[in-house]
Amino acid sequence: MDTNNNNNNKSSSSGKNRRNKKSNTTTTTTATTTTTTTTNNNNIKSFSQLSLDEKKEFLLSHSKNIFKPTFINKKEDDYELDKILKESSIETFTCQICMNCTDNQLQCKNGHLACKQCWDEIILQKAYTQKVCPFCKVPVSLDTVDRNLFYKTILEKEEVQCPYYLNGYQNNTDNVSCGSFKYSFLIDKHKNECQYRLVKCECGQDVKIKEIDKHQEQVCLKTMFQCKHCSQKFIRQDQEKHFNTCPNMIVACQYCDMVFQRHEKQHHIINYCPETNVYCSFSSIGCKEVIKRKLLNNHFVTKDHSTLLKSVVVQMDHLKKSNQQLLVQNHDLQSNLSKYANEIQLLQKEKSQLEIEYMNLFGQIEILEYEKSKGRAYISQFTSNTTANNNNNNNNNNNNNNGKDKGAPSPDSCIIM
């Protein structure tokens, strides 16, 4: 209920303001355009060279407000009843026990009034052993103290001053503020609609509802903007910082006053700026002068580079000659190279022939090896047969000689192959 009222109130108020705002914005834009044109005609300044007012104007014309910060945490309504009642009515609504002015008083069976807090204290606190009405001593309990309809009705009809009345005069030049109403109207309606009620903006500042739109549009540090040059979003508090670094911002060269987007600045200074100091174009052949780019043509006229050029011509002649010599040497080396390549080819052919011959010889060696082992086998066969025959003969001889030649080697052990 409260929030709804709040929203309704906000939308209706901003609706009203929007009409004013529109006309304001139009005038601002026209003003800015005029300024920019005049600035263009005069000498162009970079952003950092602008005065504070010029900067503000420039920033506003180069960014657009994309959304307002979500409106506002409602502040507690902590007004006191005796501050808004007429002096003469205060006593009527004052609790006779605690002397607080209050909108809620309950009565005992006999109609004695006291505020809710006081009855609670008498009934609930242990310190009070007697739970009785302090005026007529009738016993009281939470069930027997009752609301007093008459009290409520006369309070509702009571004329009160808007609790935000004083806010109306804060920083207010037109000297107008809120008026007085019946208490019921204040509670049911006006409290939530009062243009002088303070609300807390997202930036932390307390602002009158009446001024919240203006505040957010013109000063609030949390208002969101979008840069028209690079589309980046930022809050007002970062606005100037952004414009000091925005890559697409139009800035002027600090040396020659030409204008371009900030990201082109380095390129301009290195390659085009007439005020940049550069080396003479003949630096590679010995002119050591460093001059502003715009004076380069003049330098070519005033400084005589012909001696330098002559020495370069001499060097070039010299180089031409040695180049020719090198060409000849290169030709010789090329022909040697092809000669060696042919020789290598021949050697490779010979190598492969030799490899074939080697294979053939190897085959023959194997055959011979085979023959050799066959021959050996034959010889050993032959030798063992011969030994057997000799033994037979020896036995016959031993019988005759009585073992005279016992230690002599056998003929077989003397054969060496």
Binding region for Zn ion (CB under 5 A): 95, 97-98, 108, 110, 112, 115, 118, 133, 135-136, 162, 164, 178, 194, 201, 203, 220, 227, 229-230, 232, 246, 253, 255-256, 273, 280, 282, 287, 289, 303
Burial of 44 (0-12, 13-18, 19+ CB in 10 A): middle
CB of 36 to Zn ion, least distance (A): 17
Length of the chain: 417
Q: How far is CA 138 from CA 109, 145, 151, in A?
A: 7, 11, 21
Least separation in angstroms between residue 190's CB and Zn ion is 6
Half-sphere exposure of 69 (CA within 13 A, CB side): 23
Question: In the complex, what is the shortest distance from the CB of residue 338 to Zn ion, in angstroms, rounded to a whole number?
Answer: 50
Token pair listed for 347: 């050697």
| Shortest spacing between CB 21 and Zn ion, in angstroms | 16
Q: Which residues of 134-168 are buried (b: 16+ CB within 10 A; e: fewer)?
A: eeeeeebeeebbeebeebeeebeebebbbbbbebb
Least distance to Zn ion, CB of residue 179, Å: 7
To 5 degrees, how large is the angle CA 94–CA 95–CA 97?
140
Min. distance of Cβ 328 from Zn ion in angstroms? 38
Distance of alpha carbon 32 from alpha carbon 44, whole angstroms: 15
- Token pair, residue 193, equals 């609609």
